[in-house]
Amino acid sequence: MPDESSHPAPKWLTREYVQEKLRAYFKDQSLDLENLEVKPAIPNGENYASVMTRINVEYTTKGSKGKLSTNFLLKTTFADKDPAAHVLVHYGIYTREMDMYEKILPQLAHIIRSDLNDPRKLFAGTVNVDRERDSIIFEDLSLENYKVVCRLKKLDLVHTHLALEKLASFHAAAAALASRQPGIFEKDYDRGFFNKFVRGYQPIMRNLLQALSRSLELDRDLKERYQAKIDRLVEFVMDYGERSTSISPGDFVTLCHGDLWTTNLMFQHDDQGHPTNSIFIDFQFSVWNSPAIDLHYFFSTSIHENLRLEKQAELVQFYFYKLVEALKKVKYSGQVPSLFEFQQQFRARAFYAVFSSLIFEPTMVYNGKEEASMEQILSTSEKGIRFKDSVYQAPEILEKMKDTLPFLDQLGLLDEM
C-alpha cells in the first residue's frame, strides 16, 4: 500500500483550488465541490522522479440529480528540499512534461486518429496544467479499467507486441509532426538521462554501480569475471552513455518517450483478459533521439527474461515493420532506414541496455524493506549504503546477474569502448 507519510499532499491542494479547476474542465460554473479526499496514488519507491496523488471528489451541478463522484490524479514535483529535486531540476523535466501534455500529445493523438485511423487513447486526458505549481491533473484511467502490469512480473509477448505497436505509432506521429512543424522539438527536448549539458545522474549511476560491485563479492565466479569491469565502468558510465545517445548522420530520429518501463505503461483488457490498448504515461524525459533508446530501455526493464535474452532482434523487427507502416500512413517525408540499417542503429545504442539493466532495473523491481528513494540512492550514509546493498544483494537480482552480465559482456559492452 502507498506510504501516506512519505510525500504528503501539497498544502495548496484545497477544496477551493480543485473546485476552480473542475469548473474550468467541465465548463460549468455551477459545479459545487461537496467533498474532497486526497491520498497517495502509488507506493513509495515506484516513482523516483515525482509525486502522484489521487483526488477523490464528490460534487453537484445545477443540472445534476444528487451528488456525482469521480477520481483524478495529480502529479507534482518533489519539494525543493528533497534531494531528488536538486538532481531533476537541471533536466527541465517538469516544464517539458507540461509542454507535452498541453502542446505535443494532443497533436500526436490527432495524427494517430486521423492518419493512422486508430481511435484508441494514446495518453491520459489533461484536466489542468498549473505552471506556477509545476503540477498536472489528469484523468484517472483506472475508471476505464486501465491497469499497470506488475513491475515484478513484467510483460509477456502479447503485451510486449501491443506496447511496441503503440510505440511505433507514437514515434511515427512525432516524426511527422516534426516534419510539418520544423523546430518544434529543437528546444527543451535534448536532455535525456544522458546528454551534453548536465550530469546530474552521475552520482546516482556511480553509487548504484558500486553497490553492484559489492554484491559480486557474494558470488565468486561473478566476482572474478566481472567485478573489475564494473569498477572500471563506474568512471566511464556517463561518457559511454553520452556516446550512446549521440546522433549520427543518417540516423532516423524522432521524439522518444525516454522512460518507457512497466510503471509508465497502462493496459486495457477485454472480457477474456486480452489486452486491447496500451497508453503511455510520464513524459518527463521525452527526448529527441533514436527510437532505439526506447527499445533498449523497454527491453531491459519491462519484458520477460526469455524475451529480453533471446528475442530482441525479432522484437526490433516487429517494431520496425510497424514503424514503417505508420510512417507511410502519416506521409513522412524524411529518409526511412532499411531493417538492416535500423538494426545497426539499435546495436550502436546498445550501451543504453547497460545502464538500463544494471543500474535502473534493479531499483525498479526492488521489493525489500529499506526506504526506497532518490535520497537513499544519493546518500553515502550507512542507511543509504544499506538500501543500495539491499537492492543488489537480493537473491533474485544476484541470480539475474548470472544471465545479464554475460549477455552484456559478450556484446563487448563491459569492455573499454
Q: How many domains does the chain have?
A: 2
Residue 143 lies in a domain: no
Distance, in Å, from the CA atom of 253 to the CA atom of 195, rounded to the nearest integer, reads 15
Domain containing residue 381: CATH number: 3.90.1200
Q: Which amino acid is at 69?
A: S
Which distant-in-sequence residues (6+ apart) come within 8 Å of 363 by Cβ? 48, 208, 372, 377, 391
50 & 101 share domain: no
* Residue 7 resides in a domain: no
Q: How would you classify residue 143: left for phi > 0, otherwise alpha for psi between -120 and 50, otherwise beta?
A: alpha
Residues of the domain holding 48: 15-76
Name the helix (H) or strand (E) containing 322.
Answer: helix 312-329
Question: Is position 36 within any domain?
Answer: yes
Coil, helix or strand at residue 371: coil
Contacts of 378 (CB under 8 A, 6+ apart): 83, 87, 203, 204, 207, 384
Q: For 350-368, what is the mean pLDDT?
A: 96
Given 57, 76, 95, which residue is the final one in a domain?
76
Note whether 72 and 212 are same-domain residues: no
What is the share, in percent, of the chain residues with pLDDT greater than 90? Answer: 83
64 and 38, same structural domain? Answer: yes
Q: What is the mean pLDDT of residues 218-245?
A: 97
Mean pLDDT across the stretch 8-33?
93
With respect to residue 416, please indicate whether it lies within any of the assigned structural domains: no
pLDDT in tens, 174-185: 999 999 999 999
Q: Which pLDDT belongs to residue 47?
A: 53
C-alpha cell at 253: 530520429
Asked if 71 and 108 sit in the same domain, the reply is: no
Place of cell 557474494: 218
**Is residue 138 included in any domain, yes or no?**
no
Q: What is the reported pLDDT for 5?
A: 40
Average pLDDT value for the chain? 92
105-114 helix and 157-180 helix, angle to the nearest 10 degrees? 100
Q: Say which CATH number the domain at 43 has.
A: 3.30.360
Q: How do residues 134-164 score in pLDDT, each as one tens digit?
A: 899 999 998 999 999 899 999 999 999 999 9
Q: Is residue 144 a part of any domain in this protein?
A: no
Cα–Cα dist 122/5, whole Å: 32
Q: Does residue 4 carry a pLDDT above 80?
A: no
pLDDT the model gives residue 374 = 87
In this structure, the answer to whether residues 62 and 170 fall within a common structural domain is no
Reported as a single tens digit per residue, the pLDDT across 57-97 is: 999 999 888 999 999 999 987 655 566 666 777 788 888 99
Within-domain flag for 142: no
Whole-angstrom distance, CA of residue 320 vs CA of residue 334: 16
Model pLDDT for residues 302-334, shown as the tens digit of each residue:
999 999 999 999 999 999 999 999 999 999 999
pLDDT band at 3 (very low <50, low <70, confident <90, very high): very low
Query: Is 393 found in the same domain as 323?
Result: yes
What's residue 84's pLDDT? 64
Out of 26-35, 225-234, 320-329, 371-380, least confident range: 371-380
Query: Is the domain of 399 the same as that of 293?
Result: yes
The answer to whether residues 180 and 37 belong to one domain is no
Whether residue 404 sits in one domain with residue 319: yes
For the purposes of burial, counting CB atoms within 10 Å of the CB of 152, is it exposed (0-12), middle (13-18) or buried (19 or more)? exposed
The answer on 204 and 106 residing in a single domain is: yes
Same-domain pairing of 91 and 71: no
95 shares its domain with 187: yes
Residues 31-56 pLDDT 10s: 999 999 998 876 544 555 678 899 99
Angle formed at CA 175 by CA 172 and CA 179, multiple of 5 degrees: 140
Helix residue spans in 121-278 (DSSP H): 157-180, 202-215, 220-244
* 133 assigned to some structural domain: no
Q: How far apart are CA 167 and CA 247, in angstroms?
A: 20
* Pick from 1-15, 202-216, 372-386: least confident: 1-15
Listed in sequence order, the DSSP H helices in 44-195 are: 83-88, 93-99, 105-114, 157-180
Model confidence band, residue 1 (pLDDT cutoffs 50, 70, 90): very low
Q: State the average pLDDT over residues 119-128.
A: 92
